[in-house]
């Protein structure tokens, strides 16, 4: 029997991951905030609560998504250090309770940005942010720990996600809400290239990765990076308000490289995962969802 | 006023570091196990105790030496993960209580072994052991955290230490005790090259580093690596029992490289530290100390 503990189950990726894992026959135990009665309300930053949960569930698999992801804040937040400690301890109690297969949500921010196409082993990991360093450091330590105890670990490096349920303060959510509300959306010139993936596909990829024996880092992206302008033009087309996007009204953020592109050969060839949504279909799905929210 | 908190103050390096820091005019607050009344008995793996101590002492400087160092066990011990978490939290509470300058004990095990002379920035950090990865990961995260809060951090990478007070299970302690007791000492062929430094010099180097503005990793070694055979022959000469050393009676440990040599230009040129003991003087001091222990 495959029993999985999903941390961050009520989050943006987590809600979709729970569904994807059920579809694959997993018995899913979620941990989530916000009082969702479907999930355990465990505070994962509390060691006693964390260990009691693991001991009660005794999962064979664990998908660890929980981390501080407060937009604008998480790049430099001290909470990154809390999540390093919690993640290391989670891995240990998982093993102590009989766990065998762990997948953790990593990030493209672990890489040295500025290199053309980010590859799991060929691109150096030289993260520029505390968030990236904390994720990268956790991976290094969890993988070394896993080798000493025979735990199977993979690290799903998420690139840029969008889709239903995205929280305010993130690009696609803010742009879509602004255009649907008829308010201007001030943004950068939009020439930077990013790899965008619909959140349901990201969650599906993580579920497929967990359900595979693939070890180590695996990029989770579309493999088809586009200029941010292409993404926003798509939203403009779907909402009928291209006039509202003010390109260049804001500078590109400090430290934002010209391109962040994922090499997804490991994901497609080794894990065998293919996304359901291309960018047009993904944006259509997303704008339709936001339209429902704002109409409702 | 320079007030320093020294963790691991009753340990092998710590006892010497406390002296070296007093000589430099620091008001020293030690944390140590083993009931030494000169030190705070704080359990550093207990978050509440750790933070209460930091708040009570409110040090301007911190020398963090504490870690699991149980011979034979520490390379793969799960306690390495506890010390990662404790070290990250220690850095945060140090900053929260007004701390400005932190030095942490790193290790030559952070480097990729097998490269000729280990240099702080030129040699890649690809540790082969959980201990090495845990130290390396902690450094990466602490340095990134320090950049976000303006904390000054240096990382003193210790190579191979010996000297008075060394615990059993380590090379020089075991060899010296065996030869003084007249029992055979079974060892490897002894051709592997290592950088040995007297513990009082290592402690002096850490104190000098803490008292300097030098940031980042700094190797703490003699810069004069020798074959292990040279070291053991020195002990044999001082004890008069070369007949007792059985070279080749044990194989060289798995994963032990042919050479681990420190480049010490940062330590000598930037920190301005020079050791007091060369190998002959250091071994003479050490054997004399062990003779006193066994006679007494």
B141 to chain A, any CB pair closer than 8 A? The answer is yes
* CB contact (8 A) between residue B130 and residue A145: yes
> For tokens 């040129």, what's the residue?
B269
The interface pTM score, or ipTM, of the predicted complex is 0.93
Q: Which helix (H) or strand (E) holds A158?
A: strand A152-158
Q: Are B60 and B4 in contact (CB under 8 A)?
A: yes
- Mean pLDDT value of segment B16-38: 93
Per-residue pLDDT averaged across A184-213, rounded?
98
Interface test with A, best of B50, B67, B85 (most A CBs within 10 A): B85
Name the residue facing B92 among A81, A137, A143 (closest C-beta).
A81
Q: By the CB < 8 Å criterion, does A118 face chain B?
A: no
pLDDT of residue A37: 84
Q: Which two tokens stand for residue B215?
A: 């940031």
Q: pLDDT for B108-121, tens place per residue? A: 999 998 888 999 99
**A7-24 pLDDT tens trace:** 999 999 999 999 999 999
Residue B188 in contact with residue B252, Cβ under 8 Å?
yes
Query: Is B89 in contact with A76 (Cβ distance < 8 A)?
Result: no
SS3 assignment, position A89: helix
Q: Is pLDDT of B70 > 90?
A: no
The answer to whether A201 and A277 have CB atoms below 8 angstroms apart is yes
Question: Residues A76, A129: contact at Cβ < 8 Å?
Answer: yes
Query: What is the Cα–Cα distance from A255 to A76, expressed in whole angstroms?
Result: 13
**What tokens does B17 get?**
């570091």
Distance from CA of B201 to the nearest CA of A (A): 31
The per-residue pLDDT for A296 is 57
Three-state secondary structure string covering chain B: CCEEEEECCCCHHHHHHHHHHHHCCCEEEEECCCCCCCCECCCCCCHHHHHHHHHHHCCCEEEECCCCCCCCCCCCCCHHHHHHHHHHHHHHHHHHCCCCEEEEEEEHHHCCECECEECCCCCCCCCCCHHHHHHHHHHHHHHHHHHHHCCEEEEEEECEEECCCCCCCCHHHHHHHHHHHCCCEEECCCCCEECEEEHHHHHHHHHHHHCCCCCEEEEECCCCCEEHHHHHHHHHHHHCCHHHEEECCCCCCCCCCCEEEECCHHHHHHHCCCCCCCHHHHHHHHHHHHHHHHHC
For the segment A255-275, the average pLDDT, to the nearest whole number, is 96
At B42, the pLDDT band (50, 70, 90 cuts) reads: very high
Segment B269-282 shows an average pLDDT of 98
Residue A197, token pair as written in the block: 């993936």
Task: List Cα–Cα distances, B140 to B150, B228, B296, in angstroms.
Answer: 15, 31, 45
- B260-275: average pLDDT: 98
* Residue B138 touches partner A, C-beta closer than 8 Å: yes
Q: In what order do the strands lie in the sheet with B117-118?
A: B117-118, B259-262, B193-194, B226-227
Given this model, what pLDDT does residue B195 score? 98
List Cα–Cα distances, B60 to A201, B29, B210, in angstroms: 50, 11, 11
The dihedral sign for the CA sequence A128, A129, A132, A137: positive
**Residues A127, A137: Cα–Cα separation, whole Å:** 10
Degrees, nearest 5: CA angle B257-B258-B262: 85
pTM: 0.95
Contacts of residue A99, Cβ cutoff 8 Å, sequence gap at least 6: A54, A59, A60, A61, A62, A151
Note the pLDDT tens digit of each residue in B3-18: 999 999 999 999 999 9
Instruction: Name the residue with higher pLDDT: A296 or B249.
Output: B249
Does residue B197 sit at the A interface (CB-CB below 8 Å)?
no
Distance CA(B40)–CA(A41), nearest Å, equals: 38
Q: Cβ contact (<8 Å) for A89 and B78?
A: no
| Distant-in-sequence, close-in-space partners of A282: CB < 8 Å, separation ≥ 6 | A162, A163, A196, A197, A198, A201
Interface check A96 vs B, CB under 8 A: no
Closest-CA residue to B103 (of B133, B59, B43, B70): B59
Stretch A270-284: mean pLDDT: 98
Percent of chain B clearing pLDDT 90 (strictly above)? 93
The token pair that represents B121 in the structure block:
């920035």
Q: Quote the mean pLDDT of chain B.
A: 96
Return the DSSP state at A266. I
Which pLDDT tens digit goes with each residue over A205-261? 999 999 999 999 999 999 999 999 999 999 999 999 999 999 999 999 888 999 999
State the angle between helix axes of B12-23 and B199-210 in degrees (0 to 180), rounded to the nearest 10: 50
User: What average pLDDT score do residues A152-168 get?
Assistant: 96
DSSP classification of residue A25: T
Question: Nearest-CA distance from B282 to chain A in Å?
Answer: 35
d(CA B66, CA B74): 13
Give pLDDT tens digits for A75-119: 999 999 999 999 999 999 999 999 999 999 999 999 999 888 999
Q: Of A81, A144, A148, which is closest to B88 when you measure between CB atoms? A: A81
The CA–CA distances, whole Å, from A274 to A198, A271, A296, B90, B147 equal 12, 9, 33, 44, 39
According to DSSP, residue A224 is labeled -
* Mean pLDDT in residue range B271-288: 98
> Is A129 near chain B, with CB under 8 Å?
yes
**Across chain A, what does the average pLDDT equal?**
96
What is the reported pLDDT for B69? Answer: 87
pLDDT in tens, A50-64: 999 999 999 999 999
Residue B296 has pLDDT above 60, yes or no: no
Answer yes or no: do B130 and A144 touch at CB < 8 A: yes
* Contact state of A144 with B138 under an 8 Å Cβ cutoff: no
Which of A255, A273, A256 shows the shortest CA–CA distance to A264? Answer: A273
CA separation, residue A35 to residues A10, A38, A42, A99, B91 (Å): 9, 9, 10, 26, 33
Look at residue B33 in the predicted model and tell me its pLDDT: 79
Q: How far is CA B271 from the centre of its chain?
A: 17
Which domains are present in chain A? 3-161+197-222+265-271 (3.40.50.720), 167-193+225-260+277-295 (3.90.25.10)
Report the distance separating Cα B147 and Cα A78, nearest Å.
Answer: 12
A110 shares contact with chain B (CB less than 8 Å): no
Report the pLDDT value the prediction gives residue A148, as an integer from 0 to 100: 97
H helix count then E strand count, chain A:
9, 14
Q: Is the pLDDT of residue A276 over 90?
A: yes
DSSP A147: H
What's the gap in Å between the CA of B80 and the closest CA on chain A? 9
Predicted confidence band of residue A133 (pLDDT cuts 50, 70, 90): very high
- Which position has the token pair 């009570």? B56
Beta carbons within 8 Å of B196's beta carbon, 6+ residues apart: B159, B160, B161, B162, B172, B222, B225, B226, B231, B279, B282
């Amino acid at each position: 029997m495959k029993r999985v503990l999903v941390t961050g189950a009520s989050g943006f990726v987590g809600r979709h991951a729970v569904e994807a894992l059920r579809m694959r026959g997993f018995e899913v135990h979620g941990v989530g905030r916000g009082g969702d009665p479907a999930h355990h309300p465990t505070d994962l930053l509390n060691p006693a609560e964390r260990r009691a949960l693991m001991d009660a569930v005794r999962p064979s698999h664990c998908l660890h998504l929980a981390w501080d992801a407060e937009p604008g804040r998480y790049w430099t937040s001290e909470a990154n250090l809390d999540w390093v400690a919690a993640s290391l301890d989670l891995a240990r109690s998982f093993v102590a309770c009989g766990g065998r297969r762990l997948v953790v949500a990593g990030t493209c921010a672990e890489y040295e940005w500025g290199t053309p196409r980010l590859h799991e082993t060929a691109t150096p990991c030289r993260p520029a942010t505390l968030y990236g360093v904390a994720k990268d450091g956790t991976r290094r330590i969890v993988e070394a720990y896993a080798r000493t105890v025979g735990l199977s670990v993979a690290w799903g490096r998420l690139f840029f996600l969008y889709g239903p349920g995205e929280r305010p303060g993130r690009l696609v959510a803010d742009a879509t809400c602004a255009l649907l509300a008829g308010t201007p959306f001030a943004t950068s010139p939009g020439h930077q290239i990013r790899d965008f993936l619909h959140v349901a596909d990201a969650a599906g990829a993580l579920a497929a990765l967990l359900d595979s024996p693939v070890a180590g880092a695996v990029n989770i992206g579309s493999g088809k990076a586009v200029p941010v302008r292409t993404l926003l033009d798509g939203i403009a087309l779907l909402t009928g308000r291209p006039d509202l996007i003010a390109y260049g009204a804001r500078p590109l953020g400090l430290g934002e490289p010209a391109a962040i592109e994922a090499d997804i050969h490991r994901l497609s060839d080794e894990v065998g995962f293919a996304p359901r949504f291309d960018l047009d279909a993904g944006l259509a799905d997303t704008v339709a969802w936001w339209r429902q929210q704002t109409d409702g």
